C-alpha cells in the first residue's frame, strides 16, 4: 500500500510503505500498555511492604488481594475489548491529514500562546510587577523546601477558568506540528520557531509549578509520530522497536539525578537501603500510591455514578454549577473531595488515582469491567485508525496513547486537561468536513447530462 503526497515545502512522501505487512511498531498496541504497565504495577503495589508506604510515601497501605482481583478484572476486560475490533479496511487519508494540519496549525499555536501569555500576565499583576514575580520564581529554584512553590502555584499562577484551559491546546498543536514535520509539509524554520515558543512556555510550567504532565503532553505525541515514521525506514526499525527501553532508561536517569538533590538529603538518615534502591522505590512510588489511592477510593468514597465521565461538564465555567445541581438532584450529595479523602486515609500530596479505581467508584464493581471493555474497544479502533493512516486516528491516537502510558496513575481521557483536545478536534473536524466537501452541481432543469433537450 502506498499513499503519495506532494507539497511545495518538501519532496513526495511515501508514508505507508509496508515492511512484511506491519503497519506500526508493536508497542503502540493498547494491549501492550496493560500487559506491561497496568497489570505489573497493580500487582507491584500490593507486593510493596507496608513500611515502604509509611516511610517513603507517608501513607497507610490499603491495597489488598480483593482490590487486586477486581483491578485485574477491569484490565482483562480492557484487553478483550482491544482484541475484538477489526481493521478499518479503508484507504489512508493522507490528503485529508495534510489539509487539516495546514489549516489548523496556526490557530492551535495562537490559542496555546494566548493561554500562556494571559496566564503569565495575570501572575505579573498578582505579584505586583515583573520583579517580584522573578524573585518568587528564583526562590522556588534555589530553595525548593521553602514553601514558596505552593504560593507561586496556587496564588500567583492560580487557575483562570476558561483562560488557562487554552494552554491545553498544546496537546493537539504538538500532534499537528509533528505530523507536518515528518511529511515535510511546512517550512522547517517556521515550524521550529512555533514549537520552540510552546516548549519555552511549557518547561518553566513543568519545573516551577511541578506540572511534569504538561511537558509529557507534548513530548509523547511528538515522539510517537516521529517513531512511527521511523518504523517505515528499514535502517531505523530496530531503534523504533526498542524505543521504550531507551526512553524508559533515560527518564529514570533524569529522575535519579533530580531526586539526589531534592529528596535524598532528607531520606538518607531514615532509609535503610542504598541510593539506587531508594530511587527505584521513589520512582515507582508515584504509580504504587496511585494504585493504593484506588483502593482508598473503593473503600471510603461512596459510589459516584458517571462523575468522572462528566468531570469536564462539572468543572466547566458557569455551566458546571448547573450540571452540579442536576447531578446532586439525581444521584445525591455524597461526594467527598479527593484531597479530604487522601488527607484522612493516605497522603494528599500523592493525589493521583489509577484509572481502574475511578471506574470502580463510577460504575461499581459489577459494571467497571464493562467500562474497561469499552475503553479497550475505543483504544483499539483509534490505534488501527492511526496505523492505517485515517484522519481521526492519526490526529487523536498519539495523545490518547499518553492515557495508556499513565493508566496506572490517572484517568487521562476524562480529565479536564484533555477536554480541550477532544472539543477542538470534534468542532474542527465538523468545520473541515463542511468546507472541504465540494457542493454538487445539479444539471439545469429539462437538460440531461449530454445537453440534449428532452423531447
Per-residue model confidence as pLDDT tens digits over 350-404: 999 999 999 999 999 999 999 999 999 999 999 999 999 999 999 999 999 999 9
User: pLDDT value at position 134?
Assistant: 86
CA distances from 451 to 191, 439, 440, 455 (A): 50, 21, 17, 12
- Tell whether the model's pLDDT for residue 287 goes beyond 60: yes
Whole-prediction pTM value?
Answer: 0.87
Domain assignment present for 345: yes
User: pLDDT value at position 452?
Assistant: 40
Q: Residue 388: give the domain boundaries.
A: 26-301+336-434
- Tell whether the model's pLDDT for residue 6 goes beyond 60: no
Domain assignment present for 217: yes
- Tell whether the model's pLDDT for residue 120 goes beyond 60: yes
CA distances from 153 to 40, 159, 204, 303, 387 (A): 33, 9, 12, 31, 39
Per-residue pLDDT tens digits for 128-154: 998 888 888 888 777 665 566 678 888
More confident: 210 or 447: 210
Domain assignment present for 16: no
Domain assignment present for 313: no
- Tell whether the model's pLDDT for residue 5 goes beyond 50: no
User: pLDDT value at position 141?
Assistant: 72
Report d(CA 451, CA 445) in Å as an integer.
11
Domain assignment present for 256: yes
Total domain count for the chain?
1
More confident: 443 or 311: 311
Per-residue pLDDT tens digits for 68-80: 999 999 999 999 9
What average pLDDT is seen over the chain?
87
1 — pLDDT class (breaks 50, 70, 90): very low
Domain assignment present for 246: yes
Domain assignment present for 172: yes
User: pLDDT value at position 86?
Assistant: 64
Per-residue pLDDT tens digits for 423-442: 999 999 999 887 765 555 44
User: pLDDT value at position 241?
Assistant: 92
- Tell whether the model's pLDDT for residue 245 goes beyond 80: yes
11 — pLDDT class (breaks 50, 70, 90): very low
User: pLDDT value at position 148?
Assistant: 66
Domain assignment present for 9: no
Report d(CA 206, CA 449) in Å as an integer.
63
Amino acid at each position: 500500500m502506498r499513499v503519495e503526497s506532494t507539497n511545495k515545502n518538501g519532496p513526495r512522501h511515501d508514508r505507508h510503505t509496508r515492511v512484511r505487512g506491519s503497519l506500526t511498531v508493536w508497542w503502540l498496541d493498547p494491549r501492550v500498555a496493560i500487559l506491561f504497565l497496568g497489570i505489573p504495577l497493580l500487582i507491584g503495589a500490593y507486593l510493596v511492604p507496608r513500611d515502604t508506604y509509611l516511610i517513603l510515601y507517608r501513607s497507610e497501605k490499603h491495597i489488598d488481594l480483593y482490590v487486586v482481583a477486581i483491578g485485574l478484572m477491569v484490565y482483562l476486560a480492557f484487553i478483550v475489548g482491544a482484541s475484538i475490533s477489526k481493521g478499518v479496511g479503508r484507504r489512508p487519508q493522507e490528503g485529508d491529514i495534510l489539509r487539516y494540519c495546514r489549516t489548523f496549525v496556526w490557530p492551535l499555536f495562537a490559542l496555546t500562546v494566548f493561554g500562556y501569555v494571559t496566564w503569565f500576565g495575570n501572575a505579573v499583576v498578582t505579584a505586583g510587577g515583573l520583579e517580584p514575580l522573578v524573585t518568587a520564581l528564583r526562590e522556588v529554584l534555589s530553595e525548593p523546601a521553602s514553601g514558596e512553590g505552593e504560593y507561586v502555584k496556587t496564588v500567583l499562577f492560580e487557575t483562570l477558568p476558561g483562560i488557562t484551559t487554552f494552554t491545553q491546546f498544546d496537546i493537539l498543536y504538538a500532534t499537528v506540528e509533528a505530523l507536518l514535520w515528518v511529511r515535510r509539509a511546512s517550512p522547517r524554520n517556521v515550524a521550529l520557531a512555533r514549537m520552540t515558543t510552546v516548549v519555552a512556555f511549557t518547561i518553566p510550567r513543568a519545573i516551577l509549578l511541578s506540572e511534569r504532565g504538561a511537558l509529557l503532553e507534548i513530548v509523547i505525541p511528538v515522539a510517537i509520530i516521529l517513531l512511527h515514521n521511523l518504523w517505515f525506514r528499514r535502517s531505523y526499525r530496530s531503534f523504533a522497536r526498542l524505543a521504550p527501553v531507551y526512553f524508559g532508561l533515560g527518564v529514570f536517569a533524569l529522575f535519579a539525578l533530580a531526586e539526589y538533590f531534592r529528596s535524598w538529603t532528607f531520606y538518607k538518615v531514615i532509609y535503610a537501603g542504598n541510593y539506587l534502591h531508594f530511587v527505584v522505590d521513589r520512582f515507582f512510588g508515584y504509580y504504587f500510591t496511585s494504585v493504593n489511592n484506588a483502593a482508598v477510593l473503593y473503600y471510603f468514597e461512596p459510589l459516584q455514578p458517571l462523575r468522572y465521565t462528566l468531570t469536564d461538564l462539572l468543572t466547566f465555567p458557569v455551566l458546571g454549577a448547573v450540571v452540579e445541581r442536576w447531578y446532586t438532584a439525581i444521584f445525591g450529595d455524597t461526594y467527598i473531595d479527593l484531597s479530604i479523602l487522601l488527607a484522612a486515609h493516605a497522603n494528599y500530596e500523592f493525589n493521583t488515582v489509577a484509572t481502574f479505581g475511578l471506574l470502580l467508584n463510577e460504575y461499581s464493581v459489577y459494571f467497571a469491567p464493562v467500562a474497561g471493555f469499552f475503553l479497550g474497544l475505543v483504544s483499539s479502533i483509534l490505534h488501527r485508525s492511526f496505523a492505517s493512516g485515517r484522519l481521526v486516528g492519526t490526529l487523536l491516537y498519539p495523545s490518547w496513547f499518553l492515557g495508556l502510558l499513565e493508566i496506572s496513575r490517572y484517568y487521562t481521557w476524562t480529565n479536564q486537561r484533555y477536554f480541550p483536545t477532544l472539543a477542538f478536534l470534534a468542532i474542527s473536524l465538523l468545520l473541515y468536513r463542511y468546507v472541504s466537501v465540494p457542493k454538487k452541481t445539479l444539471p439545469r432543469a429539462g437538460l440531461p447530462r449530454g445537453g440534449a433537450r428532452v423531447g
